[in-house]
Chain A
Amino acid sequence: MMNYSKRKVAGLSLYVMFLLVPIYWLLNMSFKHKEEVLSGLTLWPSNFTFDNYITIFTDPSWYMGYVNSLIYVALNMAITLTVALPAAYAFSRYKFVGDKHLFFWLLTNRMAPPAVFLLPFFQLYSSVGLFDTHLAVALSHCLFSVPLAVWILEGFMSGVPREIDETAFIDGYSFQRFFIRIFLPMIRSGIGVTAFFSFLFSWVELLLARTLTATEAKPIGAVMTRTISAEGIDWGLLAAAGVLTIIPGILVIWLVRNHVAKGFALGRV
């Protein structure tokens, strides 16, 4: 029998393979010519090519999909953090009329299926002239990212003793200066994880993003359907497009890697 830690390593390796093999396959596919894809199965590209990537990077209707997605995701993260930080501070530090109800109500919004809001959002944003803008998608995603952000940040902020705030005020800090110079750095794990979650849910969501846009702010997810044409699917191109959507995610994980272990406990363990 293997010892305990060897079994762990073996188990984890199996799981990592389960995670990575499909991604490898996508990568493999993305470096193949159309002909090679159709001619049968090969474990690695026999005729390595960047053509699929070149197609994407030279065609604005392709690469603008990425740009659009990144813009609304960034907007969403910015709006989410801007509004959620002060709100979470209020919830963690003060009692006020209706605080508990408000907090609970915020969380229930996170439970709403995006499909429910599809039509009303479409009408709402059309009526205020925001249809097919990045802002519309970002705002609609806020409905899901803000409640979670407030909740996560509140947990982290409650972990910082209130005496820190008071000491700062006694030292002469104004509220704004204290908040930015002292408080935010102290909860940076929380901010990292909140940003991570905002990115995650906005980046992976397609239903609302597709419905609220037409051409100007069309997300990459919607652009990818272009690979399906009368002659069938261009697998190589589709795979390359897919690979490119994974890269921003890996960058985000890289940025928050030091906060993940602490941050994912969400300040509540």
Chain B
Amino acid sequence: MSLKLDNIDQVVNGQHHLTSVNLSLEPGSFNVLLGRTGAGKTSLMRLMAGLDKPTTGKIIMNGADVTGISVQKRNVSMVYQQFINYSNLTVRENIASPLRLAKTSEAEINKRVMETADMLRITEFLHRYPLELSGGQQQRTAMARALVKDASLILFDEPLVNLDYKLREELRFELRELFKARNAIAVYATTEPNEALALGGTTTLLHEGQVIQSGPSAAVYREPVDVHAADLFSEPPINLIPGDVTDNEVTFDESVHFPLHQDLKSLTPGGYKFGIRPSHIGLVPSNDDDLEMSMTVELAEISGSETFLHVKNSHFNLVMQLSGVHAYRSDATIDIYLPVHKLFVFNLDGKMIQSPTRLIRG
């Protein structure tokens, strides 16, 4: 089955929650909605589920207009950020409940519940009540209930936020595996770029109620259409530096100069914003023409296997992503190297002009 959103607007109390959203989701696809809190992810999912009606626009499932059809008749399922289960029913009955409502035979219910519970590894808790379980097990129960009924559209609204990161890693992996064999459309909302990348599939970027970009996750990551897209799809956020281009030189924030090299030759003189990914800035030069800058360390955030270094000088703040564990005292002074060949270039309106992987032909 396919799902198409046709020019959707959602206005609540005079506030635009969604503006002219057009989206087309293919059968069997895994779609990530990436955006900050309040970007409209939840609003959009609620429309897809049929919990809300759009102010204008149409929702088309399998070619049929379902805009006004109630949620009970849509064959969708949804998993929320909070652990939502029926606390008065056992885990078994929780999972069985959508099947019972669909008047499935008892034998079939038993079989499907066992299969799904097995898949999500909660078989041993079937006779318990949800509130007696740990957070991870509760969320597995909610997922099992969503997966058991063969819905044609499955919505996940930041389902892993409230879990430990190791559990998150495991569940994310399982989820991707679970969907390999399905023909349902999965929609997964998240605020975390890494989650979007790890889940693969396609990513749709939402910003202030509008779709700013949509496509295969890795492609969207590498070719952001504008500053917002680049910023959204980068954790830690992409570094943005204002700069001026003259005939033969680039000046960063009136303080750092470097010659206009081959990749940037086609830029017309004027003001630009330059973007550089945190992972591309290094502690050792990667190229002869790397920009060397002396910076002060603000904080070294260490995530077990990598280090996020927040550094600054009198002109700008940068974040670097280093692999491995590097401890620095705050206020230490270090030299960093910025590869000028890996710059993203945006015009002053924020539109991307070129990326390191796609140079504009001069």
Q: Report the minimum CB–CB distance from B206 to chain A (whole Å).
A: 20
Q: Report the minimum CB–CB distance from A82 to chain B (whole Å).
A: 21
Residue numbers in A under 8 Å from B88 (CB-CB): 182, 185-186
Residue numbers in A under 8 Å from B84 (CB-CB): 161, 163-164, 167
Please state if A166 and B51 are interface contacts (CB–CB under 8 Å).
Answer: yes
Q: Given A166-B71, A182-B88, verify A172-B80 contact (CB < 8 Å).
A: no
User: Would you give 5 A-B contacts (Cβ < 8 Å), ordered by A?
Assistant: A163-B84, A169-B51, A170-B77, A177-B101, A182-B86
**Residue in B78, B86, B98 whose beta carbon sits within 8 Å of that of A172 in the complex:** B98
| Chain A 155-169: CB-based contact to B (< 8 A → 1; otherwise 0) | 000000101101111
Q: Is A53 an interface residue (CB 8 A)?
A: no
Q: Report the minimum CB–CB distance from A138 to chain B (whole Å).
A: 30
Q: Given A182-B88, A186-B88, verify A171-B82 contact (CB < 8 Å).
A: no
Q: Is B76 an interface residue (CB 8 A)?
A: yes
Restricting to A153-198, which residues have a CB under 8 Å from any CB of B? Answer: 161, 163-164, 166-174, 177, 182, 185-186
Residue numbers in A under 8 Å from B101 (CB-CB): 171-173, 177
Residue numbers in A under 8 Å from B86 (CB-CB): 164, 168, 182, 186
Q: Is B145 an interface residue (CB 8 A)?
A: yes
Task: Tell me the count of chain A residues lying within 8 A, CB to CB, of chain B.
Answer: 16
Q: Is B49 an interface residue (CB 8 A)?
A: yes
Please state if A167 and B78 are interface contacts (CB–CB under 8 Å).
Answer: yes
Residue numbers in B under 8 Å from A161 (CB-CB): 82, 84
Give residues in B with beta carbon < 8 Å to A. 49, 51, 70-72, 76-78, 80, 82, 84, 86-89, 97-98, 101-102, 142, 145, 149
**Residue in A164, A170, A177, A185 whose beta carbon sits within 8 Å of that of B71 in the complex:** A170
Residue numbers in A under 8 Å from B49 (CB-CB): 166, 170
Residue numbers in B under 8 Å from A182 (CB-CB): 86, 88-89
Q: Report the minimum CB–CB distance from B135 to chain A (whole Å).
A: 15
Residue numbers in A under 8 Å from B78 (CB-CB): 166-167, 170
Q: How many angstroms between the C-alpha atoms of A169 and B71 in the bound complex?
A: 6
Q: How many angstroms between the C-alpha atoms of A163 and B88 in the bound complex?
A: 15
Please state if B82 and A163 are interface contacts (CB–CB under 8 Å).
Answer: yes
Q: How many angstroms between the C-alpha atoms of A185 and B102 in the bound complex?
A: 22
Q: How many angstroms between the C-alpha atoms of A177 and B142 in the bound complex?
A: 20
Closest to B49 in A: A170
Q: Report the minimum CB–CB distance from A162 to chain B (whole Å).
A: 10
Closest to A171 in B: B98
The 10 closest A-B pairs by CB, nearest first: A185-B88, A172-B101, A171-B98, A163-B84, A169-B71, A163-B80, A167-B84, A182-B86, A170-B78, A172-B72
Q: How many angstroms between the C-alpha atoms of A121 and B287 in the bound complex?
A: 94
**Residue in B72, B89, B97, B102 whose beta carbon sits within 8 Å of that of A169 in the complex:** B72
Q: How many angstroms between the C-alpha atoms of A202 and B46 in the bound complex?
A: 44
Q: How many angstroms between the C-alpha atoms of A186 and B86 in the bound complex?
A: 8
